[in-house]
Amino acid sequence: MREKEKMVSGKFYNPSESELFYDRINAKTICQKYNQISPKEIQERKNILKKLFGKTGEHIFIEPNFYCDYGYNIETGENFYANHNLVILDCAKVKFGDNVMIGPNCGFYTAAHPVKAEERIKGIEFAKPITVGDNVWFGGNVCVMPGVTIGDNVVIGGGSVVVKDIPSNVVACGNPCKPVKSL
């Protein structure tokens, strides 16, 4: 099994392997180009995202700066908006539903590392997917960690660290993030 196949299937993999290394270089080169395009060039920016991501809706807008690891593991629905400094470490799938809004300085991290130091120093890692439902709003400075699923019609309060699944129809916040109000 290739390292890329191991990565997307949640198994331990070596991120330094050449195919994955060059995939990351390619994505980071595209992100660099994206981040340097004039704000007036809205269609060109949209075209770059549609080419970089595995799947997008028709209406997608990400304010620069934007960074990702691979791009091809990111899927967005319709009406996706992200404010400045979005980071998506997409070693596993990151799926966003329709009508998702993301505040500034947010991160979605699928990459995880072994807890035991002797395993970690070998340079291996694993990844768990992130799934975000429809009609979700993330306040600024939110971190969503590996393996999390967030339901529909959710508001995640600014500064939250989401380490566990969040059900539909709630406002959730905190570190760790948890539901505080039903909608």
Confidence class for position 96, pLDDT limits 50, 70, 90: very high
> Across the beta sheet with 161-162, what order do the strands follow?
66-68, 86-89, 107-109, 143-144, 161-162
Task: Determine the pLDDT at residue 1.
Answer: 87
Distance, in Å, from the CA atom of 23 to the CA atom of 121, rounded to the nearest integer, reads: 23
Q: 3-29 pLDDT, tens per residue?
A: 999 999 999 999 999 999 999 999 999
* Phi/psi of residue 62, nearest 5 degrees: -125, 120
Task: Determine the pLDDT at residue 80.
Answer: 98
* Amino acid code (one letter) for 83: N
Is the domain defined by 3-182 classed in CATH 2.160.10.10?
Answer: yes
pTM of this structure:
0.96
Nearest to 13 by CA among 2, 22, 24: 2
Task: Determine the pLDDT at residue 173.
Answer: 98
Q: Is 32 left (phi over 0), alpha (psi -120 to 50) or beta?
A: alpha
Task: Determine the pLDDT at residue 158.
Answer: 98
Q: 126-178 pLDDT, tens per residue?
A: 999 999 999 999 999 999 999 999 999 999 999 999 999 999 999 999 999 99
> Which of these is catalytic: 33, 51, 113, 122?
113
Confidence class for position 43, pLDDT limits 50, 70, 90: very high
Cβ distance 88 to 69 under 8 Å?
yes
High-pLDDT (> 90) share of the chain, %: 98
- Map out the domains of the chain as residue ranges: 3-182
Q: Is 113 a catalytic residue?
A: yes
Provide the mean pLDDT of the chain.
Answer: 97
